[in-house]
Chains A and B, each alone.
Chain A
Amino acid sequence: EAGVTQSPTHLIKTRGQQATLRCSPISGHTSVYWYQQALGLGLQFLLWYDEGEERNRGNFPPRFSGRQFPNYSSELNVNALELEDSALYLCASSGLGDNQPQHFGDGTRLSIL
């Protein structure tokens, strides 16, 4: 069974640009979650999508947005990039329900110059 896949592995942008990160969940999982892991800050929850809808959002500005496609894959878009957006962005997927743990991809390393 293929795990959660994320692309690209690395992404280098400059301030003010826009970045698009992609995630494919485990087959059969309908929920996709996005996290930001910045140095020294642990995992910060960004967004949760399920069945194509945004279900929950963390404490991030509106320039962080995303969507989920009919095949349950997802995109995270970050507009007007700032230096502090440099981080590892992790995607996780799960089935829906209480006892469905999240399974993570290896992340996209976003570096802002």
Chain B
Amino acid sequence: GEDVEQSLFLSVREGDSSVINCTYTDSSSTYLYWYKQEPGAGLQLLTYIFSNMDMKQDQRLTVLLNKKDKHLSLRIADTQTGDSAIYFCAESMAGGSYIPTFGRGTSLIVHP
């Protein structure tokens, strides 16, 4: 079955880059998602990538995929206090049940 692992916490200084990591287990074609959850809110879709891609960039966000190691990362450039939130990685198998498997989330704390 699918399993998605994330570290629980990351603390960075404002203006630095943040890198949030995720590992997954499914080896077939898959979609990989990053979501952001601010306090009291639902999950906001940030970006997603298909497993035939290595990288995707969208403004301050860069997603890197290492298929060999089944490792996904989300880099946030010039991290701001407004980026403080919980970030969830999720995996969905292509041609599967359409139900993503979510990691437990990484709590990003940005301090001045």
**A residues at B contact (CB < 8 Å):** 4, 6, 31, 33, 42-43, 45, 48, 55-56, 90, 92, 94, 96, 98-107
Q: Pick out which of these stretches binds chain A: B14-22, B55-63, B69-77, B97-105.
A: B97-105
What are 21 A-B interface contacts by the 8 Å CB criterion? A4-B42, A6-B42, A42-B102, A43-B88, A43-B102, A48-B97, A55-B98, A56-B97, A56-B98, A94-B98, A98-B95, A99-B31, A101-B33, A101-B45, A101-B48, A102-B100, A103-B45, A104-B35, A105-B42, A106-B40, A107-B42
- Chain B residues, CB < 8 A from A31: 98
CB-CB under 8 A from B95, the residues of chain A are 98
Taking CB atoms, residues of chain B closer than 8 Å to A94 are 98
Give the residue of A45, A100, A105 whose beta carbon is less than 8 angstroms from that of B99. A45
Classify the secondary structure of A's interface with B: strand
Q: How far is the CA of A105 from the CA of B35 in the complex (A)?
A: 13
Smallest distance from the beta carbon of B53 to chain A beta carbons, Å?
12
Distance in Å: Cβ of A24 to nearest Cβ of chain B: 13
- Most chain-B CB neighbours within 10 Å: which of A42, A55, A107? A42
- Of B44, B98, B99, chain A has the most CB atoms within 10 Å of the CB of B98
Contact indicator B42/A42 (Cβ below 8 Å): no
CA of A63 to CA of B45, assembled, Å: 30
